[in-house]
Amino acid sequence: LGNYIGINEPSGEIFGKVMSLSDAMMMRYYEVLTDADLESVKNRHPKQAKLELAEDIVARFYSREAAEQARGEFEKVFSQKQVPEEMAEYALSAETPELLIDILVKTGMAPSKNEARRLLQQGAVSHEGRKISDENWPARRGILKVGKRRFLKLA
C-alpha cells in the first residue's frame, strides 16, 4: 500500500513518516511499539505526542543524537518553512535549456511525465517559493520543492 515505515530508511524519512500518521494510527503505534502509558499520551497534544513517538522510533534504530537531529530538521522544514540542509542536487545543462517536466522525471521526483503534469496542475511544484504550473517552464538554478517533503537543488 506504500504506507510502511522501513527500519533501514534514513532517520529523517522515518521521522517524517511517523509525523504523517493519523492520530488514531499514532495511538496504535504507541500501543504496539512502546510501553508508554496510553492515558498519558491521550492527554498530550497530538502533535507533541507524535514528535515524541517519532523521536523514540528513530532513536531505537539509530541513536538519540540522530533522533534529535531528525526532529530539528523536521521542525526547520515543516514548522519554520525553511529548506533542509541536505537534499539531492541536479546539475543543469549549460548548453541546452531543460524543461522542468523532464527534470522531474529524470530525478525521480515524478515517476512519469503524466504524474509530473498532474503535480504541476495541482500546484505542488515551486521554485524558490513561487508555484510553477507551466510544464514548459525553463529550469534555472535554485531550490525546487515538490509536494511538502521533497526538495531538489538545481545547480
Residue whose C-alpha cell reads 503535480 in the numeric block: 119
Mean local confidence (pLDDT), 4-19: 93
Q: Is 11 exposed, middle or buried (0-12, 13-18, 19+ CB in 10 A)?
A: buried
Mean local confidence (pLDDT), 82-96: 85
Query: What was the pLDDT predicted at 86?
Result: 81
Q: How far is CA 66 from CA 5, 36, 62, 87, 121, in A?
A: 17, 21, 6, 17, 37
Label the pairing between strands 88-90 and 130-131: unpaired
What is the rounded average pLDDT for all residues in the chain? 91
18 or 77: which leads in pLDDT: 18
* Residue closest to 146 by CA, chosen among 64, 71, 115: 115
pLDDT, one tens digit per residue, over 31-64 is: 999 999 999 999 999 999 999 999 999 999 999 9
